[in-house]
Amino acid sequence: MRPVFLSASIPDPRRHPRYIDTADEIAIRESVSALATVVLHHTTLVFGGHPAISPLVRLIAHGLDAMDKVRIFQSRFFESVVPRDSREFTDLVWTPAVSNDRDASLRLMRDLMLNEGPFEAAFFIGGMEGVEDEFDLFSRRWTGTPAFPIASTGAAARILFDRYRDNILPYLSRGWENRLREEFVYRPFFEELLHL
Amino acid sequence: MTPVLNATLHQRMADLGIDPADALALFTEAMMAGLDNRSPTVAVYFGGPAQTPQAAAAVATLRHHGIFILPVVPQLAGYKTQVPASLHEVNGTVVPPEDPALESVAQRLLEELRLVRAKRLVFITYRRSDTRGVAEQLYRAFDDRSFDVFLDTHSIRSGFEFQSVLWDQMADADLLILLDSPAALSSRWVREELARAHALCLGILQLVWPGHARSPGTDFCVPFYLEPDDFASGPAPIGERSELAAASLHRIMTLAEALRARSLAARHSRLVGELCQRVSTAGWGIDIQPGYCIDLHRPGRPTPIRAFPLVGHPDSHQLHQCFDGCGNPPLDGLVVYDPLGMWDKKTLHLTWLNGYLPLRALPVTELNAWIASGP
């Protein structure tokens, strides 16, 4: 089975009101935890390090004795603030910082991360602009690979689902578009989406 | 008080994902003849100086049938003059003025119906030199509300074994209070504890100290930003002796109760949802019974398996309770739990118990393999 790509974050109420309106933090947390559990039983999980997501993935990977199945990307731009949790992954890929440019450094990190494919599928959970950017990049780079915005987690995933619904439908059994929006029991749902 | 309690019970059941219109029936003493003894029943008696013979007769009947009754009185002084004789030996309770919605009464009734757990365990994690006064103040406040409180000072760690037991216990909690003072998250243990609490889907209330930016990586916590006004006059907010003002403490306690209920509801629905989905996919029938259990009907088999989804990690007392719920003669019993965060020795203990007990404890992650084994 090819690696699975994860893009997830928790909206910050002080910065992005349009994301926070629909964000469901409990669902974001549960779906990240469920995805890591389902994927790491079978294949590699690829994602960009995040201070709240990385510790959760690390804990689950550690429990499954699958630390080597996580490939985490971090930009050198954030080297001084990268949490210790990210550094504990054996497969940590540092991408170069672009002078003093935060956005350009992130762009380069995302380009290099998404060149890692081919992927089995990608999952987009909660999130803000970064998750939207990664969805656009992924869809362009890996046309034909399913990219699932988990709309029930709200925030960017919900916006992406509403915007690209027609592109996603071919990857879903009939009636499943509602499950992307309404399903909160994630472990069996993700197994079905990945045909496990 | 009855309409208020009714409204709160409806709300809390809805939070648990249970449709109150379907699952809840309210009876008063005038409607005793309509009570169905097969349904799980709990009662509350609102006492006071005046009592009617009809209410006293209803209480006596309920007591005769062994039904739990919670006596609620305006004050505990002169308790026996406020309730019928059959309740004299039952401990009464007083609703505090800051609980006008009768949340504490609703909670007790839901626990008795086993819709929420009788075990109320909260973890308070803090840095002793910064916030000891507030931690101990919260300890007393939770203790007053019938919580078991685990005060976790970051500095006291007695080795790996202690840590394993601690994290195993955390699975039985529904709530973690993080006192986020400037240096609180410098400890590796605290970060690990937070990650575990998140993986278990506990509610985490983060009290952010005045002048301190929320610690990085705590985005999943529910923040409560403390202001200097939230502290009692006296020592500065940071320090071993500082304490919260009474009004702020009440706000935090109310928020904590609501967060605990949400966390418990989420964990319960995740477990029940996964159980129901996996057995339905296998073509089994599902019959959700009163009393917090689910009968699983296998095709072509005359009797169902009675499943008990259990939030947290099961202990032998809970297994015994579940067996008692299997009926007489007993149906095959199955206790389903989420093994995440379970201590290795506890896993071995449950495996050992499974070899001797008349029911089986099964991690939710092994449901598919269990179904495929053709039980």
Which of B198, B342, B343, B344 is best to mutate for the A interface (most A CBs within 10 A)? Answer: B198
Contact of B270 with chain A, judged by CB distance below 8 Å, is answered with yes
Pair A73, A49: CB distance under 8 Å: yes
Pair B17, A185: CB distance under 8 Å: no
B262/B248 Cα distance (integer angstroms): 21
The per-residue DSSP string of B41-66 comes to: -EEEEE--S---HHHHHHHHHHHHTT
Which of A9, A16, A31, A33 is best to mutate for the B interface (most B CBs within 10 A)? Answer: A33
Pair B319, B357: CB distance under 8 Å: yes
Residue A60's nearest CA partner among A91, A85, A27, A79 is A85
A129/A135 Cα distance (integer angstroms): 10
Give the pLDDT confidence of B193-218 residue by residue, as tens digits.
888 888 888 889 999 999 888 888 88
* B269 contacts A26? CB cut-off 8 A: no
Helix axes B103-112, B2-15, angle to 10 degrees: 60
* A83 contacts B199? CB cut-off 8 A: no
Per-residue pLDDT of chain B (375 residues; tens, 9 = 90+): 889 999 999 988 777 656 777 778 899 888 888 876 656 678 999 998 888 899 999 988 887 766 778 889 998 889 889 999 888 877 788 888 888 999 989 988 887 776 666 678 899 988 888 888 999 999 999 887 778 898 876 544 555 566 777 777 888 888 999 999 988 887 777 888 888 888 888 889 999 999 888 888 888 888 899 999 999 877 677 777 889 999 999 889 878 877 887 777 778 778 888 898 899 889 998 876 655 678 899 999 999 999 999 988 898 888 998 998 898 899 999 999 988 777 778 889 999 999 999 999 999 989 999 999 988
Pair B87, B221: CB distance under 8 Å: no
CA-angle at B267, arms to B24 and B106, nearest 5°: 35
Mean pLDDT for the stretch of residues A37-42: 95
pTM: predicted TM-score of the whole model, two decimal places: 0.78
Query: Using CB atoms and an 8 Å cut-off, which of residues 131-190 of chain B contact chain A?
Result: 188
Which of A12, A20, A29, A153 is best to mutate for the B interface (most B CBs within 10 A)? Answer: A29
Nearest-CA residue of chain A relative to B339? A63
Q: How far does B315 lie from chain A, in Å, by closest CA? A: 22
Q: Which pLDDT value is given to residue B288? A: 67
Contact of B114 with chain A, judged by CB distance below 8 Å, is answered with no
Torsion of CA A99, A105, A109, A112, to 10 degrees: -60
Contacts of residue B329, defined as CB under 8 A and 6 or more positions apart, other chains included, come to none
ipTM: 0.81
Pair B182, B130: CB distance under 8 Å: yes
Pair B200, B213: CB distance under 8 Å: no
φ, ψ of residue B250 to 5 degrees: the values are: -60, -40
Whole-angstrom distance between the N-terminal and C-terminal Cα of chain A? 10
Q: Is the pLDDT of residue A182 over 50?
A: yes
Paired residues of A91 in beta bridges: A71
Mean pLDDT for the stretch of residues A21-48: 93
Q: Is the pLDDT of residue A140 over 90?
A: yes
3-state secondary structure of B294: strand
A52 → closest Cβ in B192, B219, B340: B219
- Specify the higher pLDDT residue, A56 or A39: A39
Q: Which residues of chain A lie closer than 8 angstroms to B274, CB-CB? A: 185, 187-188
Contact of A10 with chain B, judged by CB distance below 8 Å, is answered with yes
B46/B31 Cα distance (integer angstroms): 16
Neighbours of B306 (CB within 10 A): 24
* A58 contacts B195? CB cut-off 8 A: yes
A187 → closest Cβ in B196, B201, B274: B274
B51/B202 Cα distance (integer angstroms): 43
- Residue A10 is given by DSSP the state -
Contact of B277 with chain A, judged by CB distance below 8 Å, is answered with yes
The per-residue DSSP string of A126-163 comes to: E--HHHHHHHHHHHHHTTTS-EEEEGGG-HHHHHHHHH
Q: What is the largest CA-CA distance in chain B?
A: 72
Q: Which residues of chain A lie closer than 8 angstroms to B216, CB-CB? A: 51, 81, 83
* B201 contacts A26? CB cut-off 8 A: yes
